[in-house]
Amino acid sequence: MSAAPAGPPVGLFELSIQGRHAPALFVTGWLATLLGLGATVVGVVSGASVGAAATVLLTAGLAVLSIGFVLLGGSQTVERAAAGRAYAGPSPVLVFAALLTTTLVVAVLVGVPLELAGVRLDRAVGDLVSVGVQALVFIGVVRLMVVGPGAISWADMGFGQSGRRVARALLEGASLAVPVVAVTLLLAGLLVLVFGNAPPSPLPPTGTTSGLILHLLAGAVIAPIAEEIVFRGVAVTAWARTNGAWVAIIRASVLFAVAHVLLIGGQSFGEAASLAIVGAAARLPVAIALGWIYLRQGTIWSSIGLHAAFNAVLILLAERAMLGG
């Protein structure tokens, strides 16, 4: 006879080690998080006055913050497993936080040496490198925080299926791209009319064949795989196990939309806010469709197919518009 669950897990914001199964992870995780957050804030605030030192401090702070998030994720995993939770892994929000800080650290570690060496990448090549590095970070952090501890396996997401099943799922997902693009463009147009601002494309058209090919590789091949692993493979799967399908889809959609506008800026707070609202709201239709088809088909390849085709259509439309039709 299996043992009964030990009760609800001890939460991260219950600042006590009493009753915890991994108190060292909890304490070390919070210490690293607070230390890293403090160093990051100081680095941002002092940036203009101390130059390179601020960059070093900011990068170190983000690195320590990443370690803190990973350790807190480990603490959550241990406590939820001990409590017999259906999803015994870190919160998808915490996983995303670790992804964000780690990506920023890696961007500095890759970008600064290139800049110091005087290497100037073509815009499309730079976009491809950036997306590729980000994808590696996404997959690596998910492997470390979620797949490694056994909270969600690659097979749970739908990887490891036969080639025929993969091809069918990709085509089923891609078949929804045109109607989802139509809804997205309509909603985006209405939002721009209301707020008066249109956020820039993450992969703006280049006007060249080589640039188009590189952007299609980055935006319609690499990015969809990495993002689907995070937002559907992890977030939707985790929340569906504990909160049900539609709660999971909506939560993951909001996280997906917010993730795409976190670094949007503007000439004023009002402009930045309006750009963020338009950018996030316009992504909700495709995010909801991605979560729905992922759960409906039971494989991440279906959402990858929709995501890839959706991005490809938008990239092609933007390139066509730049060339004047």
Of the ranges 12-21, 56-65, 296-305, which one carries the lowest mean pLDDT score? 12-21
| pLDDT band with cut points at 50, 70 and 90 for residue 188 | very high
- 216 vs 315: CA distance, rounded Å: 7
The pLDDT value recorded for residue 56 is 87
In this prediction, residue 323 carries a pLDDT of 72
The C-alpha angle 262, 194, 257, rounded to 5 degrees, equals 25
**Is the pLDDT score of 324 beyond 50?**
yes
pLDDT tens-digit map of 145-169: 999 999 999 999 999 889 999 999 9
Q: Which long-range contacts (CB under 8 A, 24 or more apart) does 29-34 make?
A: 29/68, 29/69, 29/70, 29/71, 29/72, 29/73, 29/74, 29/75, 30/68, 30/72, 31/68, 32/64, 32/65, 32/67, 32/68, 32/71, 33/65, 33/68, 33/69, 33/72, 34/68
- Mean pLDDT for all residues in the chain: 91
pLDDT over 70 percentage in the chain? 96
Q: Which residues contact 127 (CB under 8 A, 6 or more apart)?
A: 203, 214, 215, 218
Q: Determine the pLDDT at residue 6.
A: 54
Cβ burial, residue 311 (10 Å; 0-12/13-18/19+): buried
Whether the per-residue pLDDT at 51 is higher than 90: the answer is: no
Assign 5 a pLDDT band (cuts: 50, 70, 90): very low
pLDDT of residue 299 exceeding 60, the answer is yes
Q: Torsion over CA of 18, 19, 22 and 27, rounded to 10 degrees?
A: -20
The Cα diameter of the chain in Å comes to: 71
pLDDT winner (highest mean) among 169-178, 189-198, 204-213: 169-178
Q: How many CA atoms lie within 13 A of 113 on its CB side?
A: 5
pLDDT at 301 over 80: yes
CA distance 265 to 77: 35
DSSP of 85-131: -SS-S--HHHHHHHHHHHHHHHHHHHHHHHHHTT----HHHHHHHHH
| Alpha-carbon span 18 to 66, nearest angstrom | 25
Name the packing angle between helices 123-142 and 209-217 (round to 10°): 10
Tokens of 116: 């110091």
- 202 band by pLDDT with thresholds 50, 70 and 90: confident
Contact (CB, 8 A) for 30 and 72 = yes
What region does 192 belong to: left with phi over 0, alpha with psi -120 to 50, or beta? alpha
Cβ neighbors of 142 (< 8 A, separation 6 or more) are: 95, 229, 230, 233, 234
Q: Is the pLDDT of residue 249 over 80?
A: yes
Residue whose structure tokens are 């491809």: 128
For residue 48, the SS3 value is helix
Locate 8 and state its tokens: 């609800």
The whole-number pLDDT of residue 237 equals: 97
Neighbours of 204 (CB within 10 A): 16
* pLDDT tens profile 83-119: 999 999 999 999 999 999 999 999 988 887 888 788 8
Average pLDDT of span 170-197:
94
Q: How confident is the model at residue 201 (pLDDT cuts 50, 70, 90)?
A: confident
